[in-house]
């Protein structure tokens, strides 16, 4: 017995990190058990499917499978950039992604600030619940509502225009000029309430004593927001921004695909829709995989670069 205890003491002395890690796992085993389903989910649905990325460098065949095809190198990557319309797909994707990433960024922050100014908890809870609801609707439902509202003659917007003496037969979804605003507004309506949760949580975590001290110094609510609230949640804003950069070349397939019409086809064809059209519909699995891999690599590189800049300039980073 004494001999075994002595051996354990020696192992702890020579492997302090391993010993502390194992002790931490035993101490918090309930939390690790709760974490297990989440880890299994990502392992099964995120990490194991990554083995299929080998298709980007192989010729897929139904008789050879994923791993048995001939090695083709960077053939599919070259094929994509040789496509005369590839620059159009990249441009459309970047425009939509920038709308969702940069233009949209302040709106959930403003909404969280508005929620924070509502002192009645019941009223605030009701307003937050209403703003969250659209997030739980699928894009099929949201786009269906958008189509009904913007329909010529019978749509709510066209009826309002007609009631004011205008032309109520305008088909907004068939016009290129209205496509990007529709994408942005529908995305904001669906996500703004849900995205404001994290910002609101960060605002609530700010010490009330800071606001009390500012009020004593004569700062009004606007100055308190400007000098206390915004700096207090700046690290949260930076972290969420860095995380969002990973999807800079993924403009959101569901929304864009469902909003496509013959009139806006030149603007609605993004990298995501092109991957589905060539991969699933065209059967070019290796080619579609290569484009998807390119999306991931670009997102990863951007995330690493911006994370390093943020770490040096603001002292906030993912790692």
The parent domain of residue 51 ranges over 1-57
Name the nearest CA neighbour of 222 among 98, 68, 110.
110
Within this chain, do residues 48 and 145 fall inside the same structural domain, yes or no? Answer: no
- Asked if residues 90 and 171 have their Cβ atoms less than 8 Å apart, the reply is no
Quick one: tokens of 301?
């590189």
Within this chain, do residues 116 and 216 fall inside the same structural domain, yes or no? Answer: yes
Angle, helices 285-313/75-82, rounded to nearest 10 degrees: 80
pLDDT score recorded for residue 203: 94
Supply the CATH number for residue 277's domain. Answer: 1.10.3720.10
Angle, helices 106-117/179-204, rounded to nearest 10 degrees: 50
Tell me the residue ranges of DSSP E strands in 161-215: none
Please indicate, yes or no, if residue 158 is contained in any of the structural domains. yes
Within this chain, do residues 135 and 95 fall inside the same structural domain, yes or no? Answer: yes
Please indicate, yes or no, if residue 132 is contained in any of the structural domains. yes
Within this chain, do residues 20 and 132 fall inside the same structural domain, yes or no? Answer: no
Q: Which of 34, 57, 80 is the last residue before a domain boundary?
A: 57
Please indicate, yes or no, if residue 319 is contained in any of the structural domains. no
Within this chain, do residues 75 and 52 fall inside the same structural domain, yes or no? Answer: no
Within this chain, do residues 50 and 69 fall inside the same structural domain, yes or no? Answer: no
Within this chain, do residues 65 and 182 fall inside the same structural domain, yes or no? Answer: yes
Average confidence (pLDDT) per 10 residues, the chain, 319 residues:
49 56 84 92 90 88 80 90 92 94 94 92 93 94 94 90 88 92 95 94 92 89 91 92 87 91 92 91 89 90 91 85
| Secondary structure class of 171 (helix, strand, coil) | coil
Within this chain, do residues 21 and 127 fall inside the same structural domain, yes or no? Answer: no
- Asked if residues 115 and 200 have their Cβ atoms less than 8 Å apart, the reply is yes
Within this chain, do residues 175 and 215 fall inside the same structural domain, yes or no? Answer: yes
Which residues does 39 contact at the CB level (< 8 Å), separation at least 6? none
CA distance 70 to 76: 13
CA distance 259 to 139: 10
Within this chain, do residues 7 and 81 fall inside the same structural domain, yes or no? Answer: no
Please indicate, yes or no, if residue 180 is contained in any of the structural domains. yes
- Asked if residues 293 and 56 have their Cβ atoms less than 8 Å apart, the reply is yes
Please indicate, yes or no, if residue 318 is contained in any of the structural domains. no
pTM: 0.85
Please indicate, yes or no, if residue 97 is contained in any of the structural domains. yes
CA distance 183 to 68: 41
Q: Which of 36, 57, 78 is the last residue before a domain boundary?
A: 57
Within this chain, do residues 285 and 214 fall inside the same structural domain, yes or no? Answer: yes
Please indicate, yes or no, if residue 159 is contained in any of the structural domains. yes
Name the nearest CA neighbour of 111 among 96, 98, 124.
124
Q: Which of 17, 41, 57 is the last residue before a domain boundary?
A: 57
**Dihedral, CA of residue 178, residue 181, residue 183 and residue 189, to nearest 10:** -130
pLDDT score recorded for residue 63: 79
pLDDT score recorded for residue 150: 93
Residue that is written with structure tokens 């913007």 in the block:
150
Within this chain, do residues 23 and 145 fall inside the same structural domain, yes or no? Answer: no
Count of domains for the chain? 2
């Amino acid at each position: 017995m004494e001999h075994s205890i002595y051996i354990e003491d020696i192992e702890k002395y020579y492997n302090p990190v391993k010993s502390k890690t194992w002790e931490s796992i035993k101490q918090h085993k309930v939390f690790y058990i709760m974490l297990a389903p989440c880890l299994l989910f990502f392992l099964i649905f995120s990490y194991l499917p990554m083995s299929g990325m080998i298709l980007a460098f192989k010729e897929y065949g139904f008789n050879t499978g994923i791993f048995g095809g001939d090695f083709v190198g960077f053939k599919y990557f070259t094929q994509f950039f040789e496509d005369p319309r590839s620059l159009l797909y990249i441009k459309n994707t970047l425009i939509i992604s920038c709308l969702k990433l940069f233009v949209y960024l302040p709106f959930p922050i403003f909404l969280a600030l508005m929620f924070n100014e509502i002192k009645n908890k019941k009223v605030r809870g009701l307003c937050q619940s209403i703003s969250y609801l659209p997030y739980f609707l699928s894009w099929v439902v949201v786009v269906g509502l958008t189509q009904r509202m913007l329909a010529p003659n019978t749509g709510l917007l066209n009826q309002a225009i007609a009631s004011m003496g205008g032309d109520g037969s305008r088909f907004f979804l068939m016009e290129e000029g209205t496509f990007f605003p529709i994408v942005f507004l529908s995305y904001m309506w669906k996500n703004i309430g849900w995205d404001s949760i994290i910002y609101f949580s960060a605002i609530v975590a700010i010490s009330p004593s800071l606001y009390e001290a500012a009020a004593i110094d004569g700062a009004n609510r606007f100055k308190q927001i400007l000098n206390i609230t915004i700096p207090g949640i700046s690290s949260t804003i930076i972290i969420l921004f860095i995380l969002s950069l990973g999807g800079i070349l993924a403009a959101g397939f569901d929304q864009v695909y469902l909003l496509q019409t013959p009139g806006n086809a030149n603007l609605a064809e993004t990298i995501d829709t092109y991957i589905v059209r060539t991969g699933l519909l065209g059967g070019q699995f290796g080619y579609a995989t290569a484009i998807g891999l390119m999306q991931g690599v670009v997102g990863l590189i951007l995330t690493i670069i911006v994370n390093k800049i943020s770490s040096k300039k603001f002292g906030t980073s993912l790692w």
